[in-house]
């Protein structure tokens, strides 16, 4: 029945092989040259092979059930057009090579979504003090300088762990580093009221706040490592800006809900409620997020398949078969991500081969092994460093002192001052999210180079806030003390509009310097972010304390003190923009 069916299908019967298959196999085993094999397999056999592979892939994918029925019902007995040949990996066995996940499938969404949620909880816990410090200062009779010291103690620990967090996130699994950090800062957030009311007083409170900052210090270096390992390059701006937007959203939620909690249950309840969020997050993080990104798992599986094929070929060398091609190793860093499994074995519990370890060493053995001279002599990195430091000054001052500004300058109560402080961060969330999508769209569609996009976003995000704050400082500098408190000088509505616009425009920096670490470095990106974030936190800490000293120095003239504060922040933004626009680059500078 075979030949008639082939004739009806309009196809040619297969030609006879030059020798039987059994004889051909025995000839190969004896080392004799095989019979002429130049002729490719007949078209019908190739077609059947492709049909078989296609049906197996469709059955495995679960979504190809309708293909065969449609082809069998078309045009009577004539077969449908053969599908395009599937690409083979050339190594035998027919295993398709794994591809790095794209943003269309987005397997990174759960990990990055929970990372963004961690940034949200981080900002909620951090912003709690900016509201709670007003009733705390009344309860403990703190002057402005002491308020600044309490606020700055958090950033001491935060700064110390930024650099270490970058190294830990690169050497260890970033999932574990972030998970432990959340537990640490949540525990010390809950302990804050007890430390403040203890007989030890202020020193114990400062220590508790520093330990809380140490826990939060690993957050964003770990997120940088997670984004590098889980997210393809064409989606990293969106992933990072999602995290930054979630952090700003946390500030919004804290400023909105903290006054309500304080009025209902006292300022101590703020730390209890916000601190418990981290433990809820931990209950989701550990079971839902894998230790290793899918791309790493696929790369390891592909290496195992290649090694098995190599062993099979080596076994055939003694049987007259030609020697196999050399084992293809993945380039250094390909498929590995965010430190998940870097420098480890081929898989869980499987030791790596010596050649693989030699080709792909552990990226960072210690801080001393880092190329510090290369880092600090590189202009694109210095541009990021200065821009991040300038951003930190403005961000930490706004985050810590904005409710106090409205309370002192316009004599508002806690609820009103917190409500006015919310609007800048609400708009900042939207701007940060849109800036990442806009940056990826401009670069991926070829409308502008990545470097041009980074400079555009950074210019808008730094020079725009500088203009707003410079106007506020100039308009408020000549106001008199009593008249200013009553509403002379800059009205509260105009001051709120200027500050809201300044903080919102600063959100464009999420797609500027804050995404540039991923451009100039690969495996060093988390460490570079730790360096710049530590510098930013260090200057931000000094600025937070310095604001208290400046306000205390002006005494009964708070309007002049605040004018000096906003003028200083504007100057920092201008300096950061000048460095970034002059020296920044999106070209790879480091490994």
**Confidence class of residue 162 from pLDDT cuts 50, 70 and 90?**
confident
The predicted structure's pLDDT at residue 93: 37
**Confidence class of residue 366 from pLDDT cuts 50, 70 and 90?**
low
Contact 99, 230 (CB under 8 A): no
532: nearest Cα among 517, 510, 547, 519 = 517
Residues recorded for the chain: 591
**Confidence class of residue 299 from pLDDT cuts 50, 70 and 90?**
confident
The predicted structure's pLDDT at residue 59: 43
Q: How far apart are CA 503 and CA 26, in angstroms?
A: 79
Which residue would you say has higher pLDDT here, 38 or 454? 454
Q: How far apart are CA 431 and CA 54, in angstroms?
A: 46
∠ CA 455-456-462 to the nearest 5 degrees? 80
Q: Which of 201-205, 236-240, 385-389, 409-413 has the lowest mean pLDDT?
A: 236-240
**Confidence class of residue 527 from pLDDT cuts 50, 70 and 90?**
confident
Q: Tell me which range, 262-266, 313-317, 558-562, is most confidently predicted by mean pLDDT.
A: 262-266
Q: Tell me which range, 59-63, 338-342, 492-496, is most confidently predicted by mean pLDDT.
A: 492-496
158: nearest Cα among 218, 222, 213, 219 = 213
Mean of pLDDT values over 254-278: 95
**pTM score, whole prediction:** 0.64
Q: Which of 75-89, 296-310, 367-381, 426-440 has the lowest mean pLDDT?
A: 75-89
Whether 564 shows a pLDDT value over 90: the answer reads yes
The predicted structure's pLDDT at residue 43: 47
Whether 23 shows a pLDDT value over 60: the answer reads no
For residue 41, the number of C-alpha atoms closer than 13 Å in the C-beta half-sphere is: 8
Whether 16 shows a pLDDT value over 60: the answer reads no
**Confidence class of residue 365 from pLDDT cuts 50, 70 and 90?**
low
Q: Which of 79-93, 260-274, 294-308, 398-412 has the lowest mean pLDDT?
A: 79-93
- Phi-psi map region of 255: left, alpha, beta (phi>0 left; psi -120 to 50 alpha): alpha
Q: How far apart are CA 576 and CA 591, in angstroms?
A: 25
Mean pLDDT of the chain: 77
Coil, helix or strand at residue 412:
coil
Determine how many CB atoms are found less than 10 A away from the CB of residue 144.
22
**Confidence class of residue 58 from pLDDT cuts 50, 70 and 90?**
very low
Contact 296, 288 (CB under 8 A): no
Coil, helix or strand at residue 347:
strand
Q: Tell me which range, 9-13, 391-395, 522-526, is most confidently predicted by mean pLDDT.
A: 391-395
Q: What is residue 105's DSSP assignment? A: T
**Confidence class of residue 167 from pLDDT cuts 50, 70 and 90?**
confident
Q: Which of 29-38, 429-438, 562-571 has the lowest mean pLDDT?
A: 29-38
**Confidence class of residue 361 from pLDDT cuts 50, 70 and 90?**
very low
Whether 262 shows a pLDDT value over 70: the answer reads yes
Tell me: the pLDDT tens digits for 373-386?
Answer: 999 999 999 999 99
Q: How far is CA 142 from CA 66, 134, 153, 208, in A?
A: 74, 9, 15, 18
**Confidence class of residue 244 from pLDDT cuts 50, 70 and 90?**
confident
Tokens of 143: 């002057």
**Confidence class of residue 519 from pLDDT cuts 50, 70 and 90?**
very high
Domains of the chain: 109-293+369-583 (1.20.1250.20)
For residue 100, the number of C-alpha atoms closer than 13 Å in the C-beta half-sphere is: 15
Q: How far apart are CA 435 and CA 209, in angstroms?
A: 33
The predicted structure's pLDDT at residue 295: 67
């Amino acid at each position: 029945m075979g030949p008639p069916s082939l004739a009806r299908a309009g196809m040619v019967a297969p030609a006879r092989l030059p020798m039987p298959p059994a004889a051909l196999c025995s000839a190969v085993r004896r080392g004799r040259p095989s019979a002429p094999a130049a002729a490719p397999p007949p078209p019908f056999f190739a077609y059947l092979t492709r049909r078989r592979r296609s049906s197996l892939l469709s059955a495995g994918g679960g979504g190809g059930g309708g293909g065969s029925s449609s082809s069998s019902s078309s045009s009577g007995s004539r077969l449908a057009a053969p599908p395009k040949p599937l690409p083979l990996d050339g190594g035998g066995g027919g295993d398709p090579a794994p591809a790095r996940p794209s943003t269309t499938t987005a397997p990174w969404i759960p990990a990055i979504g929970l990372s963004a949620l961690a940034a949200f909880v981080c900002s909620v816990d951090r912003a709690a003090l900016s509201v709670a410090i007003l009733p705390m200062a009344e309860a403990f009779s703190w002057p402005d300088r002491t308020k600044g010291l309490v606020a700055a103690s958090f950033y001491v620990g935060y700064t110390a762990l930024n650099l270490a967090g970058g190294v830990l996130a690169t050497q260890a699994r970033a999932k574990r580093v972030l998970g432990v950090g959340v537990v640490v800062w949540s525990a010390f957030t809950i302990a804050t009221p007890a430390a403040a009311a203890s007989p030890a007083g202020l020193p114990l409170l400062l220590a508790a706040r520093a330990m809380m900052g140490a826990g939060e210090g690993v957050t964003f270096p770990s997120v940088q490592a997670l984004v590098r390992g889980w997210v393809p390059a064409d989606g990293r701006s969106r992933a990072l800006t999602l995290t930054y937007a979630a952090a700003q959203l946390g500030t919004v939620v804290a400023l909105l809900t903290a006054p309500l909690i304080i009025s209902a249950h006292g300022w101590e309840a703020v730390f209890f409620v916000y601190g418990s969020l981290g433990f809820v997050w931990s209950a989701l993080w550990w079971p839902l997020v894998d230790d290793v990104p899918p791309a790493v798992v696929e790369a390891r599986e592909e290496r195992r398949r290649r090694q098995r094929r190599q062993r099979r070929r080596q076994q055939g060398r003694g049987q007259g078969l030609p020697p196999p091609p050399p084992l293809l190793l993945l380039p250094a860093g390909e498929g590995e991500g965010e430190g998940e499994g870097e420098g480890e074995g081929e898989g869980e519990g499987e030791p790596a081969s010596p050649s693989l370890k030699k080709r792909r060493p552990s990226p960072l053995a210690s801080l001393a092994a880092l190329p510090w001279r290369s880092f600090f002599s590189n202009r694109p990195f210095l541009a990021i460093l200065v821009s991040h430091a300038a951003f930190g000054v403005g961000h930490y001052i706004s985050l810590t002192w904005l409710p106090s500004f409205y309370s002192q300058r316009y004599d508002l109560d806690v609820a009103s001052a917190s409500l006015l402080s919310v609007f800048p961060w609400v708009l900042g969330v939207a701007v940060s999210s849109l800036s990442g999508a806009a940056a990826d769209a401009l670069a991926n569609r070829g409308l502008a180079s990545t470097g041009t996009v980074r400079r555009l976003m950074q210019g808008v995000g730094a020079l725009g806030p500088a203009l707003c704050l410079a106007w506020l400082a100039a308009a408020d500098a000549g106001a008199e003390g009593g008249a200013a408190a009553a509403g002379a000088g800059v009205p509260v509505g105009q001051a709120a509009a200027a500050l809201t616009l300044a903080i919102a425009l600063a959100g464009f920096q999420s797609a500027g310097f804050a995404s540039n670490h991923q451009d100039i470095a690969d495996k060093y990106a988390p460490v570079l972010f730790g360096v710049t974030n530590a510098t930013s936190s260090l200057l931000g800490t000094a600025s937070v304390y310095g604001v208290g000293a400046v306000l205390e120095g002006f005494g009964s003239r708070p309007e002049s003190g605040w004018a000096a504060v906003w003028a200083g922040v504007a100057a920092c933004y201008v300096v950061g923009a000048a460095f970034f626009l002059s020296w920044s680059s999106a070209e790879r500078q480091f490994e």
